[in-house]
Amino acid sequence: MIEEIIDYILKKKVVSTKELTKRFNIDEPFLDYIISYAKNKGYGIKKDKNKLLKCSFCPYKKFF
């Protein structure tokens, strides 16, 4: 499910928080945690002042 959320953001490039919370039946604080987690993994997802999630760069990270 979380992978689906991230994929959805990558695919749409710009997506609103409201759309994500409705589509995936998830609350905003938890979505915040997922985005922060993704940022830690090197995903360039940002949230602007209008609560739009944007992905600037999402590199493939090789293990080890």
Partner 1 sequence: MSEKIVIVGHPNSGKSSLFNSLTGLDQTVGNWPGVTVEKKEGFFFIDDNKFEVVDLPGCYGLTPTSIDEKISLDYLLSSSPSLIVNILDGSNLERSFFLSLQLFFLDIPIIFFINKMDVAKSKGIKIDFEKLKGIFSCDIVLGSVKNGEGIEDLKILIKKNINKKVCETKYFKVSDKVYLHIEKISELLVKYKEFEKHPKFYSLKVIENDKNFAPSIFKILNEKDLSKIKSIVDEVYKDIKKKDFLTLDWFYSLSRGIVGEVTTKEFSDKKSLTEEIDNTLLNKFFSIPIFLITFLFIFFLTFFLGDIFSNFLSFLFENLSFFLTKIIKEGFLLSFLTEGVVGGIGSVITLIPYIFFMYIFLGFLEDTGYMARVVFIMDRFMHKIGLHGKSFISLVLGFGCSVPAVLSTRVLDTPKDRIKTILIIPFIPCSARLTVLIFFGAIIFGKWSFLVIFILFLLSILFAIFSGFFFDRFLLREKSEGLIMELPDYHLPTLKNLLLNSYFKVKDFLKRAGTLIFFITVIIFLLSYFPKNVEGGFIRVAGEKINFLFKPLGFDVERTVSLITGFFAKESVISTLGVLYKGEQIERVIVNRWSSVDGFVFLLFLMIYLPCIATAIVIKQETGSFLYLFGIIFYSILFAYLISFLVRYFLLLIL
Which residues of this chain interact with partner 1, rule CB under 8 A? 1-3, 6-7, 17, 27-34, 36-41, 43, 46-52, 61, 63-64
Q: What is the nearest approach in angstroms of partner 1 to the Cβ of residue 22?
A: 15
Nearer to partner 1, 49 or 57 (CB): 49
Rg of the chain on CA atoms, in Å: 11
Rounded Cα gap, residues 48 and 36, in angstroms: 14
Nearer to partner 1, 57 or 63 (CB): 63
